[in-house]
Amino acid sequence: MEDGLVNTSKSAVPAAYGSAQGDEMRGLRDALVMMVDDEPLNIEVTQVHLEEAGYTRFVSTDDPLQALELINARRPDVLLLDLMMHGMSGFEILERMGASNVLQDVPTIVLTSSTDPRTKLKALELGATDFLAKPVDSSELVLRLRNTLAAKAYRDRLANYDLLTGLPNRHTFMDRLEWALSHATRYRHMGAVLHVGLDDFKKINEALGPALGDAMLQQVANRLEHCLRATDTISRLDAAKQRPSLSRVSGDEFTILLPEVSRSEDAAQVADRVLAEIAAPVHLLEHEISVTCSIGITVFPDDGGERDNVLRNAGAAMHYAKACGKNAARFYSSDLNARALQKLNLTTQLRRALEREELVLHYQPKVDVASGRVVGAEALVRWQHPERGLIMPGEFVPLAEENGLITPLGEYVLRAACRQSAQWRAAGHYVPRISVNVSSQQFSQSNLVAVVEKALRDTGARAQDLTLELTEGSMMDNTERNVETLEQLKAIGANLSIDDFGTGFSSLSYLSRFPLDELKIDRSFVMQIVNPGDRCAIITAIIAMAHSLSLSVVAEGIETEAQLAFLAANACDEYQGYLKSRPVAADEFAARFLG
Ligand code: C2E
Ligand code: MG
Ligand code: MG
């Protein structure tokens, strides 16, 4: 790895990082050397020796009483400490350093003119790393300093880096994050953390065994590094920006710290690149394996200023990305935790709702514009939740679409609607056509025709009393197959309708190829009619076009007389809307609308 390329730049990080990375000698000479001696001349001489050996960074004091404060403030990589000083002895300083969690790890070489072995022993007991006899011999000084720094660098490596991938570990990440947070707050700029989690890595690891699993993780780490290097090249055009850094924070999870971004979109761009890079297949021995990842993004200081919060938020966003189907990136938002929990609960409950038959159908009349008679009913699903009461489909249908529950749900609705139709007929009612919504997932299922046939057969409903409402989106891809499915449904005798027309990729040429009976104009167009005299060219055009294809036209969401008058004036066939009635329970529907 090129020196420091994917690590935070040296000038920008605390000295402790400088010695732990990159070209060893250069790293050592970048070390911050601190000298404490009550004789200023000694300090000067030592510094001259070290400068000759290439060292450049020094901090010193001839007042032992200030030593601890200075060590604390500057955190040197090594401390050269005189033992015999006025005011406070080197022993006392060592003792106090030993009592401090942060200072006890600073490697300390004591300088002493004493030849008494007990003096040396005591200093060692107090935590000194090495000795130098005074007067200092320059070559001995340089050698001892190098050894001490090399040992420290090795120790730092073990403590701060992950052995498998060579990346900084969680501990280092947290330190860097803390630093990036304070920098961002102080200089009022924005940063971001990307939490990258491999999708289903456990399965891969089980299938491949731990050795190949490790190899896979190494490859992933390489790819991530490569991504960041590319990012770095771009962001370094803006030289003032600090470099991104990559860490491995747990088994199959990595973090990317972008200490400085101009906009949150920058973080999204990095995420996009990572998604693409990781998804390319990996070659391991004779295996070709694909793995994807999910990424949670959080920006700081906006999303929360504490480093633990930042990591937790990024993690929550990553889990959300996984829950949304994986291989994707998601931004953290403050209500994400609450929402994620709520959604998870709702999904579990929805599964149970299907078994416990908590789903009910309400029916909204479809009205003939010319005569005002109710000629049909759209079945709209509701969830009679035991605690929350009636939940509308807007809340749970998209959820069901996300997790595959929409197919059993749709089937449930279809059967319930058919049963209702048969019941009304058996009761001697005039039977309206019942419309059932079919989601695109349900439509693309290979056995839809069989499912519809079975529902009709099992319930005794008639196909001509059933209308299936499909959406534009579900018909647009794989048109050949769709035409076939639609023709089979028509052959059974069912009616076919296209719902929410005008909101999707309405393509007239496609429309003419499908064997449809009805077109429903989306409510958003009807809403544009406010006054009786208003004109809406889109609606008139859709009606004309639909009629030319022999489709019956239904307008959705009619709430006012003005809207109804407009429809009557423009030869619209049917309407549906609160003006006539909201969707109501089956009993109420029968009582109000069926003779
Ligand atoms: P949709 O199929 O377009 O149904 C029409 C929606 O418009 C219904 O909302 C209905 O209550 C509402 N609506 C009707 N008239 C008016 C009006 O005058 N003003 C206003 N503001 N709204 C009106 P609902 O029942 O909340 O259903 C929403 C959507 O959920 C439906 O849109 C449909 O896409 C979906 N949905 C409902 N039931 C099912 C189902 O069983 N299966 C599937 N796949 N989707 C369903
Ligand atoms: Mg509908
Ligand atoms: Mg609709």
Residue to mutate (ligand 1; options 358, 366, 380, 420; most atoms within 8 A of CB)? 380
Instruction: Return d(Cα 304, Cα 313) in angstroms, integer.
Output: 8
CA-381 nearest atom, ligand 1: 38
pLDDT number for residue 579: 97
pLDDT number for residue 24: 55
Model confidence at 10, pLDDT cuts 50, 70, 90, reads: very low
pLDDT number for residue 472: 82
Four-residue CA torsion sign, 267, 273, 279, 283: negative
> Element (H or E) spanning 489, and its range?
helix 479-492
**Helix, strand, coil percentages for the chain (3-state, nearest 5):** 50, 20, 30
Q: Which ligand is nearest to the CA of 379?
A: 1
Residue nearest atom 17 in ligand 1 by C-alpha distance: 557
CATH of 170-333, one of 3.40.50.300, 3.40.640.10, 3.20.20.60, 3.30.70.270: 3.30.70.270
Mean pLDDT lowest among 117-126, 202-211, 406-415: 202-211
Mean pLDDT lowest among 4-8, 272-276, 423-427, 543-547: 4-8
pLDDT number for residue 210: 87
Distance 546 CA to ligand 1 centre (A): 22
Mean pLDDT value across the chain: 88
Where in the sequence of the chain do the CATH 3.30.70.270 domains occur?
170-333
Helix, strand or coil for residue 161? Answer: strand
HSE-up (13 A, CA, CB side) for residue 346: 20
Distance 459 CA to ligand 1 centre (A): 24
Where in the sequence of the chain do the CATH 3.40.50.2300 domains occur?
15-160
Where in the sequence of the chain do the CATH 3.20.20.450 domains occur?
346-594
CATH of 346-594, one of 3.40.47.10, 3.20.20.450, 3.40.50.300, 1.20.1740.10: 3.20.20.450
Instruction: Return d(Cα 171, Cα 155) in angstroms, integer.
Output: 14
| 167-177 tens-digit pLDDT | 999 999 999 99
Spatial neighbors of 294 by CB under 8 A, at least 6 apart, are: 196, 197, 199, 318, 319, 321, 322, 326, 327, 328, 329, 330
How far is CA 345 from each of CA 157, 313, 348, 504, 572, rounded to the nearest angstrom? 44, 20, 5, 31, 44
Query: What is the fold of 15-160?
Result: Rossmann fold (3.40.50)
pLDDT number for residue 205: 84
Distance 499 CA to ligand 3 centre (A): 5
| 313-340 tens-digit pLDDT | 999 899 989 988 889 899 887 666 566 5
Strands (E), 227-273: 245-250, 253-261
Instruction: Return d(Cα 143, Cα 135) in angstroms, integer.
Output: 15
| 25-58 tens-digit pLDDT | 666 778 999 999 999 999 999 999 999 999 999 9
Output 436 or 386, whichever has higher pLDDT: 436
* Ligand 1-lining residues (CB < 6 angstroms): 364, 380-381, 392-394, 397, 410, 413, 437, 439, 469, 499-500, 556-559, 576-578, 583
Ion ligand 3 contact residues with beta carbon within 5 A: 499-500, 556
Q: Which ligand is nearest to the CA of 442?
A: 1
